[in-house]
A and B are shown apart, each in its own frame.
Chain A
């Protein structure tokens, strides 16, 4: 049977330079089925979809190996326009809608129905008049088919966020000859009842023999909606299973799965012994793309607390909010005293320090020397390293040099001298300079965000070891944010998983993989056990 699958991707390998982001991945989708595509960030889901849509980023980086078959025919998808013509549609995660346009105008965008007029006969089709009546009828039909009771003449700008997803779907359905629809994290912004409705809509689309690829990290929705699931991990195919033969726990383990020899789950400490170093209550941060929506969390004195979770869920927002770099509200108490929010200078003076995830942006002055970079913040914030001559304050070069020397040996920064410029160091050593600068503030609590991003494996280990040593030998409390679960599990005492701007669960490094997988999909293992 040649057309058993509407889409078949066979043996797909994609390299960016020497780095393979997809290794021999296959995906098979039957007509009329809902096929869930699961995987952590960086598992290769978006690369696979970019490939399916013929995105320029794929072709400009040397194409890919493997075959794409549509209805059994080998197909070359050269551009997004080609994908559209072949009947592949996408419902985007960020809404691809124009707020100032009406629902109709959005649904028919660039596919307007037109009538020729006097001028257009002379100067070409672009000047044909819009046939608003016919457009409205089409839009109404498409809206009906997704079960939306909505005025097609309403402006999108005033509509609830949840509606927009449905307008997008209506637009895809309105396209002629759609046979495959990709939903990219469609339920992320929907309320529960809207998500319910969305799943209904997906089912009714599938009944029209259109195949649906459903990308999500909510495992319960996969169980509820999908027929088949394909799981990717680190660019490789973990497996493809019919939903009937799997479970939430099974899928969670497939997603995370790093050796099944995990220790039996102990209950994480809910509260600290003694007073907490930092406690947050109903803490919100407005950091675009990393919003924190009401976190309550305690950081114990002397521990390394890991903050994990998928990208865009708010884990990066947490340290940025506490440090006053992005607008935050809620309550924060630092060593028993309330911490004023939205005030970076105060945060630093109270003994907080932050090694930012954005080393090049806000972290380091690349043209300056190592010692100046280390001393800079302490000089600005606390007035350290400043001597007084004739009533004017000058840098105390000697003290700066001495402190830099000490840090270089303590953190093992590989350099020729403290005067070497930071831009010439390797990524790992730059990261150590960031840590040294934070330490120059003599902090009581250190935030470290994505400390190993963009540095090579050997250097990663050294950065992690120096953090662990600071904690062990000097009793420094550290909050470490990282996308790499393995890193967190290697040095943290406890790991909080942030999902959708909230703490999904607090786990121990030895907790089973399943629990981490569940937490990342917004479920707590304990709740699951009770259910």
Chain B
């Protein structure tokens, strides 16, 4: 009995150690929500927008982490590829879903090519991928500016929809609204109310569980648990105070379907031979190599996939925002996405879908309320913005330190085991 208690205590303390950042964020978020004095409906509808915009990018970080390459800050470059695609789509006067698909299509070869190059470079600096990819992002920014300021417009002629007459290069803000026709394309594809979302998802889960049970792929206990959870969620939502807060929020269901597909991809790729290679390479390169896995190739593939996904994520982000800051929209992508996944309890060497989602939720909740909290506390909305940058870098620094510390502890444990 005492043994059991101690085990429980140990498990709990390990859990706290792994998720300390997450809990700190949770406490801070709740405090800030309270300080900001904003209505919950307001906060949650903003949060919904931010989640739908950012989740995809954050999820694109998972595969490189599993493959042992740390946080791929070079997803910035994927975002650049997507912006090239978007620029061309606007230039060719493609609108609506078609325009978005063309931009996404252009992102694939570009992102794959960039990912191939990034992966090759990161293979030359094994062990420093996180910092390496961060610097690569900055470096690529220079090349991007050259491309957009000089090569586009001068060498590759563009229409005046994306340039300013009398100036060099691409305009520094591209508007996606109006006749450009790319604003909220994906959001508006299938917009539903929060009620529809909750009940719809609950019913879908229950039906799917029943189907799997009928096919004998799910034990009865799991069936009951899933159906029970769906029922409880629906019932909770139906409670008047909760219903009042959430019922007016609108959900861009199409985006969440796409995000769901990416989650599904992340899970199912790990059940393939390639996924097994990602994991093997991530956990121990020497062993993977000895068993005949081409380590460098696997790592390049991981980065290529991540870069393309990040590009698609950036498309979702920009179409939802409505304007493209041509020269700066990509700059903070890697930083914010990296910080978000770390807040969810991921680390340099392990990450899951749920960590990405929880992290994204908490990270952006804090941002939604930090401005108002700044006003309330210091009378200055800018404090909120400073705070956000401060927190992002802080979280990343903490994660890097924790990683080194944990590796050292493990090494010590191993050497004492061997002794």
Is B287's CB within 8 Å of the partner chain A? yes
User: Cβ of A286 < 8 Å from any Cβ of B?
Assistant: yes
Tell me, yes or no, whether B221 is within 8 Å of chain A by CB: no
Majority secondary structure, B binding face = helix
Partner of A291, one of B271, B284, B288, B415: B415
Does A161 contact B418, Cβ atoms closer than 8 Å? yes
| Minimal beta-carbon separation of A275 from chain B (angstroms) | 30
Within 8 A of B (CB), among A396-421: none
Knowing A112-B276, A126-B274, A130-B272 touch, does A288 contact B292 (C-beta < 8 A)? no
Taking a contact as CB atoms under 8 Å apart, the answer to whether A130 and B283 are in contact is no
Of listed B288, B417, B419, residue having the most chain A CB within 10 A: B419
List CB contacts (< 8 Å) of A99-116 with chain B: 99-101, 105, 109-112, 114
Interface residues on A, range: 20 to 34
B276 CB contacts on chain A under 8 angstroms: 105, 109, 112, 130
A161 with B417, Cβ < 8 A, contacts A105-B276, A109-B291, A114-B272 known: yes
Cα–Cα, bound, A117→B273 (Å): 12
Whether, in the assembled complex, A98 has its beta carbon less than 8 Å from a beta carbon of chain B, the answer is: yes
Is B419 within 8 A of A97, CB to CB?
Answer: no
Judged by a CB distance under 8 angstroms, whether A84 is at the interface is: yes
Q: Closest CB-CB distance, B305 to chain A, in whole Å? A: 12
- Interface: B277 (CB within 8 A): yes
A288 touches which of B271, B293, B415 (Cβ 8 Å):
B415
Select which of A84, A96, A101, A293 is within 8 A of B419 by beta carbon: A293
Report the separation of the CA atoms of residues A51 and B269 in the bound assembly, to the nearest whole angstrom. 38
Q: Which residues of A contact B271 (CB under 8 A)?
A: 129-130
**Neighbour of B284 across the interface among A98, A112, A127, A130, CB < 8 A:** A98
Per the bound structure, the CA–CA distance linking A114 and B276 in Å amounts to 11
Q: Could you tell me if A101 and B291 are in contact, using CB atoms closer than 8 angstroms?
A: no
* Distance in angstroms between the alpha carbons of A284 and B284 in the assembled complex: 29
CB-based contact A101/B272 at 8 Å: no
A100 to B416, CA, bound (A): 19
Tell me the residues in window 263-303 of chain B with beta carbons closer than 8 Å to chain A beta carbons: 268-269, 271-274, 276-277, 279-280, 283-284, 286-288, 290-293
CA distance A105 to B286 in the complex (A): 16
Closest to B272 in A: A127
With A126-B274, A130-B272 as contacts: A189 and B283 at CB distance below 8 Å: no
Q: Cβ of A81 < 8 Å from any Cβ of B? A: yes
| CB atoms of A84 and B286 under 8 A apart | no
| CB neighbours of B279 from chain A (8 A) | 98, 100-101
Q: Which residues of chain B have C-beta atoms less than 8 A from A80's C-beta?
A: 290, 292
Shortest Cβ distance from B350 into A: residue: A100
CB–CB A120/B272 < 8 A: yes
Contact: B272 with A110, CB < 8 Å? no
Closest to A113 in B: B273
Tell me if B280 and A101 are in contact (CB < 8 A).
Answer: yes
The reply to whether B273 and A98 form a contact with Cβ atoms under 8 Å apart is: no
Note all chain A residues with C-beta closer than 8 A to B293: 109-110
Is A112's CB under 8 angstroms from B280's CB?
no
Is A96 a contact partner of B286 (Cβ separation < 8 A)? Answer: yes
Assess whether B419 is in contact with A284, with CB atoms less than 8 Å apart: yes
Closest approach, in angstroms, between the C-beta of B404 and any C-beta of chain A? Answer: 17
A112 pairs with B273, CB closer than 8 A: yes
- Beta-carbon contact of B283 and A98 below 8 Å: yes
Q: 8 Å CB contacts to B: which residues of A105-156?
A: 105, 109-112, 114, 117, 120, 125-130
Partner of B274, one of A97, A127, A288: A127
Query: Is the CB–CB distance between A128 and B283 below 8 Å?
Result: no
Provide the bound-state CA to CA distance between A293 and B419, in Å.
6
Minimum CB distance partner of A79 in chain B: B292
- Find out whether the CB atom of B287 lies under 8 angstroms from the CB atom of A96: yes
B273: which of A96, A125, A284, A293 is its contact (CB, 8 Å)?
Answer: A125
B389 to chain A, nearest CB (A): 35
Question: With the chains together, A497 CA to B291 CA distance in Å?
Answer: 37
B1-44 interface code vs A (CB 8 A; 1 in, 0 out) = 00000000000000000000000000000000000000000000
Verify A110–B292 contact, CB threshold 8 A.
Answer: yes
Complex Cα spacing A125 to B418, Å: 40
Contact residues, A259-295 vs B (CB, 8 A): 284, 286, 288, 291, 293
Kindly list chain B residues whose C-beta atoms are within 8 Å of the C-beta of A291: 415, 418-419
CB contact list, A60-119 vs B, under 8 A: 80-81, 84, 92, 96-101, 105, 109-112, 114, 117
B418 touching A126, Cβ below 8 Å: no
Q: What chain A residues lie within 8 Å of B417 (beta carbons)?
A: 161
Distance (Å) between the CB of B10 and the closest chain A CB? 13
Contact flags (1/0) for B380-419 with A, using CB distance below 8 Å?
Answer: 0000000000000000000000000000000000011111
Query: CA separation between A229 and B293, bound complex, in Å?
Result: 35
Residues A96 and B280 in contact in the complex (CB < 8 Å), given A128-B272, A286-B416, A291-B415: no
List A contacts of B273 (CB < 8 A). Answer: 112, 114, 125-128, 130
Whether the Cβ atoms of A96 and B274 lie closer than 8 Å is: no
- Please, how many angstroms separate the alpha-carbon atoms of A288 and B415 in the complex? 7
A83 to chain B, nearest CB (A): 11
CB < 8 Å: which of A110, A127, A161 contacts B280?
Answer: A110
Q: Are B291 and A100 in contact (CB under 8 A)?
A: no
Return the chain B residue nearest A117 by Cβ.
B272
Residue contact B418 to A98, C-beta cutoff 8 Å: no
CA distance A286 to B415 in the complex (A): 7
Residues of B within 8 A of A92 (CB): 290
In the complex, A284 Cα to B415 Cα: how many Å?
A: 12
Of all chain B residues, the one with the shortest Cβ separation from A292 is: B419
- B287 partner residues in chain A, CB cutoff 8 A: 96-98, 109
Instruction: List residues of chain B with CB within 8 A of the CB of A189.
Output: 418
Contact of A101 among B268, B283, B292, B415 (CB under 8 A): B283
CA distance A117 to B268 in the complex (A): 11
In the assembled complex, the Cα of A120 lies from the Cα of B280 at a distance in Å of 20
Which residues of chain A have C-beta atoms less than 8 A from B272's C-beta? 114, 117, 120, 126-130
Cα(A114)–Cα(B268), bound, Å: 14
Q: In whole angstroms, how far apart are the Cα atoms of A72 and B5 in the complex?
A: 64
Q: Kindly list chain B residues whose C-beta atoms are within 8 Å of the C-beta of A293.
A: 419
25 pairs of residues in contact across A and B, judged by CB atoms under 8 Å: A80-B290, A80-B292, A81-B292, A96-B286, A98-B280, A98-B287, A100-B279, A101-B279, A101-B280, A110-B280, A110-B288, A110-B292, A110-B293, A111-B291, A114-B273, A126-B272, A126-B274, A126-B277, A127-B274, A129-B268, A129-B271, A129-B272, A130-B272, A286-B416, A293-B419
CB within 8 Å of A: which residues of B?
268-269, 271-274, 276-277, 279-280, 283-284, 286-288, 290-293, 415-419
Using a CB–CB cutoff of 8 Å, the interface residues on chain A facing chain B are: 80-81, 84, 92, 96-101, 105, 109-112, 114, 117, 120, 125-130, 161, 189, 284, 286, 288, 291, 293, 501
Given contacts A101-B279, A109-B276, A501-B419, 20 further A-B pairs with CB under 8 A are A80-B292, A84-B292, A96-B290, A97-B287, A98-B279, A98-B287, A98-B288, A100-B283, A109-B280, A110-B291, A125-B273, A126-B272, A129-B268, A130-B272, A161-B418, A189-B418, A286-B415, A286-B416, A288-B415, A293-B419
Q: What are the 7 A-B residue pairs with the smallest beta carbon separation, nearest first?
A: A126-B274, A110-B291, A109-B291, A98-B283, A100-B283, A96-B287, A96-B290
